[in-house]
Amino acid sequence: MIKGKSAGFKSSEFWLNAIGMFGGLIIATLEQSQGENQWLTLVGGILSAVCGASYAASRAKIKASLASAEAVAQVGKHQADSSEK
C-alpha cells in the first residue's frame, strides 16, 4: 500500500472546500431571504458549485496518481519475483 493516503475528511483540502461551499450557501440563502440583491444569490451558488467541483476533481487526480503508483509498485514487485526464479 502506498503511504500518504488519507481519508478525504481528514485533509485540509476538504475543510477549505467545505468552508467555501458552506460560505457560498450562506451567502445565497441570506440574500435570498432578504430579497435585496439577486447577484449575491447567484455568486453564492457559483461559489458553492466551484468549490465542490474543484474538490471532486482534485480528489480524483490524487486517487489516480496513487493508483498509478500502486500499479508501478506491483509491477516492480512482480518483476523482482520473476527474476528470482
Domain residue limits, the chain: 10-84
Residue 8 makes CB contacts below 8 A (sequence gap 6+) with 14, 59
Residue 6 is classified by DSSP as -
pLDDT at 30: 78
DSSP state of 4: T
For 27-51, what is each residue's pLDDT tens digit? 888 765 666 677 888 888 899 899 8
Of the chain, the percentage scoring pLDDT greater than 70 comes to 81
The x, y and z cell numbers of residue 85, run together, are: 526464479
Residue whose C-alpha is closest to residue 26's, from 54, 53, 47: 47
